Amino acid sequence: MALPTLFLHSNPSQNAILAFSFLVVVITWVACMIKKSGMATLPLPPGPLGLPIVGNLPFLEPDLHRYFAKLAKTYGPIMKLRLGTKLCIVLNSPSVVKEVLKDQDTTFANHDAVAGVEIITYGGNDIVWSPYGAQWRMLRKVCVHDFLNNTNLAAGQAFRRTEVCRTINRLYAKSGTPINVGAYITQTIFSTMTSTLWGGTLNGEEGTTTAAKFQKVLEDIVDLLGKPNISDLFPIIAPLDVQGKRRKMKKLMSFFDQIFTTILDQRIEINKAAEGGAKETKDFLDILLQLHNGSDPKIQLTMSHVKALLLDLAVGGTETTSTTTEWAMSEMLMKPETIKKAQEELDSVVGKDNILLESHLPQLPYIEGVAREALRLHPGLALLIPHVPSVPATVAGYHIPKGARVFINVWAIQRDPSFWENPNEFMPERWFSTSNGKLDIKGSDFRFFPFGSGRRSCAGLNLAERMLTIILASFFHSFEWSLPEGTKLDLEEKFGLVIKRRNPLVAIPTPRLSKPELYAA
């Protein structure tokens, strides 16, 4: 993300555009400095010195979450950096985060949108990036109260069980051979999410092919969102789309829109054919179409809202959960004693003669500890999605200007030795202690908030925790796992919007249940 990388182009015409853009930025920066010199405010937070115009950009290190944590040792729990013309504030302690996400939650309720977001949200009609206000409250209600409520989560057990059983069957067929564990996890969660969202609308060979393309484009969108973009750091040149991020996003979204249009057209035809019959709502798409057709006069849902919400949940429900699950398995393979404890618990509760069901999960506290420890060490979004104050604010005695980009380093807080014993060690047992055992995933305690907190916390956190836990339990109940001969497991990271393993986890499954029929899909 260093400045030379951002400006590296081999195309002369692009270099000319960059040179012109840079001149515009210089003039704008000088004007801003002159204007600010006469303004009297509270001091900004401390932070490292930067250079004129580019600020701290040349000094950034690739893994921002680790870099920010290192700087915090010098500059404290709240600090500033200038990245281009953008003022960034980084929060590294629970007390400061509480001021932002609880005490001043409304002020910081907006997310700082990056280039291309307006394209993937159908013009800002989704729940993640939509500005806080009446539309966002409507969309949040649709997701949380109309879809992700306890009744629908319970009803979705059938979808989750079907997809997990299919994966166990596929793994059984690969017994004794090395497999890309993350690929199987991602496919399981993706299939579960799409089944939950729009059921079996796309079936047969065509549906399988489309699903594979859909999953690949999903991953490309997440990767593109996480890449640095000069337009985000120098907003005045955003219309030039110097790095082509918006053009790439439009290309990816054209594929998505074709899929969504096909799904919607087919479902509308199915619903028309079923008019007058007793058709029960089975998936999110049915709920959205009912609301679109005016089943609730208080909710004005357009087709753009419908498509944006489907994409939100497909992306959010797949990428972060699958990544955390892969990290959990990696950590357990690094500490085989955790696998032994998990399997002893599974054998005691479920046994080797039975199939694991979701109803067993409340009786598996060690598995729950594994899941929460993975969420502590490897939160899906290490810096969450940056917040932005809608008005000037004061945090920890410092001035935070309107429009500043606020990073919340949940990764660093959840590894802070001030709050966690042996913070970098994978210890599921820590969740049985009196203090840690009271922490939940809902963000009420700012020592542990892997899904964020406040108004903009993750709407699907309950579903995500269920998927993480049921996959871990099923994989270790059904199989022993070992590394290929001659390989060594590492925990190296690849920084992005979602922090993934740098190298895929490859392991060998060996059946451990008593009867082959227990592996049937």
Average pLDDT across each block of 10 residues of the chain; the chain has 521 residues. List them in order. 38 53 55 47 95 95 96 97 96 97 97 91 93 95 90 89 94 97 93 84 62 84 89 90 93 90 87 68 84 87 93 90 97 98 98 96 96 97 96 98 97 97 96 83 94 94 94 98 94 94 97 95 69
SS3 387: strand
CA distances from 46 to 39, 404, 455 (A): 18, 15, 28
CA–CA separation, 132 vs 230, rounded Å?
Answer: 26
Q: Decide: residue 110, CB within 10 A, 0-12 exposed, 13-18 middle, 19+ buried.
A: buried
Q: What is the pLDDT of residue 34?
A: 47
* Strand ranges in 228-325 using DSSP code E only, listed in sequence order: none
What three-state secondary structure class fits 81?
strand
CB of 164 within 8 A of CB of 172? no
Structure confidence at residue 196 (pLDDT): 87
Q: What is the structure's pLDDT at 214? A: 84
Q: At 327, phi and psi to the nearest 5?
A: -65, -40
* Cα 357 to Cα 369: distance, rounded to the nearest angstrom: 18
Rounded Cα distance, 324 and 267, in Å:
33
Quickly list H helices, 124-241. 134-144, 150-155, 157-173, 181-198, 204-226, 230-233
240: buried, middle or exposed (CB in 10 Å: 19+, 13-18, 0-12)? middle
Looking at residue 37, its pLDDT comes to 43
What is the rounded CA–CA span in Å between residue 66 and residue 382?
10
Nearest of 411, 227, 146, 196 to residue 318 by alpha carbon: 196
Angstrom distance (rounded) from CA 500 to CA 498? 6
**Which pLDDT does position 2 carry in this prediction?**
38
The answer to whether the CB of 55 falls within 8 A of the CB of 84 is yes
Q: Is the dihedral of CA 144, 147, 151, 154 positive or negative?
A: negative
SS3 271: helix
Show the domains of the chain with their CATH numbers. Answer: 3-519 (1.10.630.10)
Tell which residue, 190, 180, 182, 198, has the closest CA to residue 265.
198
Structure confidence at residue 10 (pLDDT): 44
Q: How many CB atoms lie within 10 A of CB 168?
A: 26
Model pTM score = 0.89
What is the reported pLDDT for 268?
87
